[in-house]
Amino acid sequence: MAHTAFPEGRKFDLTAIGRLCIDLNANEINRPMEQTMTFTKYVGGSPANIAIGVSRLGRKTAFIGKIADDQMGRFIRGYLDKEGIETRNVVTDTTGAVTGLAFTEIKSPTECSILMYRDNVADLKLSPLEVDESLIADSKALLVSGTALAASPSREAVLLAVDYARRHGTKVVFDLDYRPYTWRSEEETAAYYNLVAEKSDIIVGTREEFDCMEKFEANPGHDDRITASKWFGYTVGIVIIKHGKEGSIAYSADGQEHRARSFPAKVIKTFGAGDSYAAGFFHGLLSGWTIGKSMEFGSAAASIVISSHSCSDAMPTAAQVTDYIERCGRGEITAG
C-alpha cells in the first residue's frame, strides 16, 4: 500500500517547477577539469532531469520554469518538447538573463564535481504572475526544487505554486536540491526550506541537505529518525533521507522505516543518481506500489544512469529498469 494517495482524473502525473539549465559533461574522464578540453551538452537541472526521467517511464509530465531568450534556452525547450513534456508554462525571459551552466569534472568514478555558473540566470526570474494555476490543478503531483527558493522572484513563484497545489489537492513533492553557491546564508536556506517542507507531502534529500534545513534545531547526532518525525506533525507522509553509497531510508507517517537494496553498476560518474532515483521512486508511488518496491525501482534506475556519461539523456524507460533488475538477479551485471 502506497502511503500517498494521489488525486484521480488528472491530465498530468507530475508537474515540476524550478531549474532549467545546461549540463556540460567532461568528455575526457579520469582527469581534472583543468586538463579537460571538450564537453558534451545536455539539458540539466534536477527538476528537469526528474521530469524527463518520469516522462521516459511513461508518465505525463509538465514543467513550470523560465528559459533565456537565446540558443541554449531554445535548445532546452526543444528537448522538453521532444520528450513529450508539456511546456506551455515554460516562459521565455525578456530581461537579457542567461542560461545557467554546470560543467562537470569526472576525475574518477568516485571523484566527481560540478562547477556552476549561476549569475543572472533566467530560471530564477520566474515570477508569481507567470505560474499557471490550472496546470497545477490538473496534476497529481507538483515537484518543487529547493534551488528555486534561492532568490526572488522565483522564490515567491514557488511559494505560490505550493499554495495552488494545496488548494487543489495536488500532492507536493519537495526535492531539497541544495546548491550553496546560489544562497546568501545558511540561515536564509533553513528559513525558506522549512516554509515549503511544512506544506509538502513527500520530502527527499541527502543527510547533508536535511542538516542545512535543521540549522536552528537541536539534532547534534544528525539522527534520521528525529529529522523525519518532525515533519509527520504537518502534512508530510514520506521522508526520504539519502546516504550516498550506503543507500536511502524512507520514513513513513505510520512509523515504519523502508530500505531498498542497491544494484551493482559499472560507475562512470556519481551525479544524476539522485534525479534518476527520484524519477523511478515517484513512478512507483504513482503506480500504487509499496514504498519498498518504489525505492528498489528508483535504485535500479540510478544504477543505469551512473553507468552512463549523461544524466537527462540516460534516463531509462520502465522496460529498461525492469530488465536491469532481472539481469542483476541472474548475476549478469556486476560492479566495476
pLDDT tens profile 158-172: 999 999 999 999 999
pLDDT at 272 over 80: yes
**Contact (CB, 8 A) for 298 and 258:** no
**Range from 31-35, 130-134, 169-173, 263-267 carrying the lowest mean pLDDT:** 263-267
pLDDT in tens, 66-116: 999 999 999 999 999 999 999 999 999 999 999 999 999 988 888 889 999
Output phi, psi for 306, to 5 deg.
-75, -10
158-175 burial code (b ≥16 CB/10 A, e <16): bbbbbbbbbebebbbbbb
pLDDT tens for residues 10-35? 999 999 999 999 999 999 989 999 99
Instruction: Provide the grid cell at 63.
Output: 514543467
The predicted model gives 273-280 an average pLDDT of 94
Residue 1 scores a pLDDT above 80:
no
3-state secondary structure of 191: helix
Q: Say if residues 92 and 118 touch (Cβ distance below 8 Å).
A: no
112 close to 271: Cβ distance less than 8 angstroms: yes
- The whole-number pLDDT of residue 218 equals 86
**Mean pLDDT to the nearest integer, 215-226:** 92
Average of per-residue pLDDT values in the chain: 94
Per-residue pLDDT band at 2 (split at 50, 70, 90) = very low
Q: pTM for the whole thing?
A: 0.96
Categorize the per-residue pLDDT at 3 as very low, low, confident or very high, splitting at 50, 70 and 90.
low
